[in-house]
């Protein structure tokens, strides 16, 4: 299945937009996490942890799935394929892993929100380094995926190699 | 330093030979395996609750809500 040039451009634009948008959203979460850890203002600290859960549901999760789906469309609809080149496989693994961890981490955002919403909880208990740590690690993963997409390092899988050989073998001498 | 036997040489890289796995793929595979292993160990041992990274989350989080798994998942 190969897309027409117009559809391919559209799919590429959707993939780049969602992937870079996800990266930017994680950078914003890292900033929010640092504000939550360092601010002296109690309302700002509580507000930072309160806003993380809904913002993650409305921004991070949709962008993660959009990046994954558009990436699958982009690879399956072009000659790159999904399992023909190592860099595509590596990007897929990074994307799937980051999405799984994000979905599992949503429960942690719930806990942080409930703790921040309780006025009886001390500010020192509201502050938590976990979101900053996860955002920093996610940022590294997505930067690696971006680098793979930009540089497209050489390397064809055995499957890709076999696929490449097939047309030659069936072609008449 | 390895000595090559007379008449025996490296097989030529032809269309009949699958391409070798690049070094960056091997490095990536090792790093990915370590990250996944760490992730699985943290999930299994339950050492990944939110309170482990920072100050203890007070009674509210543990008492008012159902028990959480390693990632704070509520049942």
Alpha-carbon gap, residue A115 to A130, rounded angstroms: 14
Q: Of B39, B56, B71, which is closest to A125 when you measure between CB atoms?
A: B56
Statement: residue A156 has pLDDT above 60 = yes
- ipTM value for the complex: 0.80
Q: Do B74 and A108 touch (CB under 8 A)?
A: no
* Confidence (pTM): 0.80
Task: Report residue A121 CA to chain centroid gap.
Answer: 33
CA distance linking residue A148 with residue A98, whole number of Å? 15
pLDDT in tens, A99-111: 999 999 999 999 9
Q: Which tokens is B19 given?
A: 């391409």
Tell me the backbone φ, ψ of residue A20, rounded to 5 degrees. -70, -35
- Is 80 exceeded by the pLDDT of residue B19? yes
Query: Which residues of chain A have a Cβ shorter than 8 Å from any chain B Cβ?
Result: 86, 90, 93, 97, 101, 104-105, 107-108, 110-112, 114-115, 118, 120-122, 124-125, 127-130, 133, 153-156, 158, 161-162, 165, 168
Q: Measured between CB atoms, which of A97, A108, A118 is closest to B50?
A: A108
Inform me whether the C-beta atom of residue B59 falls under 8 Å from chain A C-beta atoms. no
Q: Cα–Cα distance between B51 and B61 in angstroms, integer? A: 10
- Least confidently predicted of A73-77, A120-124, A159-163, B4-8: B4-8
């Amino acid at each position: 299945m190969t897309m027409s040039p117009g559809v391919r451009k559209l799919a590429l634009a959707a993939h780049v937009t969602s992937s870079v948008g996800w990266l930017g959203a994680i950078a914003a979460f890292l900033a929010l996490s640092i504000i939550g850890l360092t601010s002296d203002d109690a309302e700002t600290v509580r507000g930072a942890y309160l806003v993380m859960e809904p913002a993650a549901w409305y921004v991070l999760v949709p962008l993660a799935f959009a990046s994954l789906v558009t990436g699958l469309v982009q690879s399956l609809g072009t000659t790159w394929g999904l399992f023909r080149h190592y860099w595509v496989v590596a990007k897929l693994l990074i994307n799937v892993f980051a999405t799984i961890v994000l979905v599992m981490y949503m429960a942690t955002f719930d806990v942080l929100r409930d703790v921040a919403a309780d006025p009886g909880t001390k500010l020192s208990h509201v502050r938590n380094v976990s979101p900053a740590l996860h955002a920093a690690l996610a940022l590294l993963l997505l930067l690696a995926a971006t680098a793979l997409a930009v540089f497209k390092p050489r390397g064809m899988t055995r499957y890709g190699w076999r696929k490449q050989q097939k047309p030659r073998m069936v072609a008449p001498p | 330093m390895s000595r090559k036997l007379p008449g025996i040489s490296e097989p030529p890289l032809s269309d009949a030979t699958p391409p070798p796995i690049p070094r960056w793929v091997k490095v990536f595979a090792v790093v990915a395996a370590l990250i996944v292993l760490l992730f699985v160990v943290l999930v299994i041992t339950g050492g990944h609750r939110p309170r482990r990274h920072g100050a203890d989350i007070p009674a509210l989080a543990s008492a008012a809500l159902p028990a959480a798994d390693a990632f704070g998942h509520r049942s």
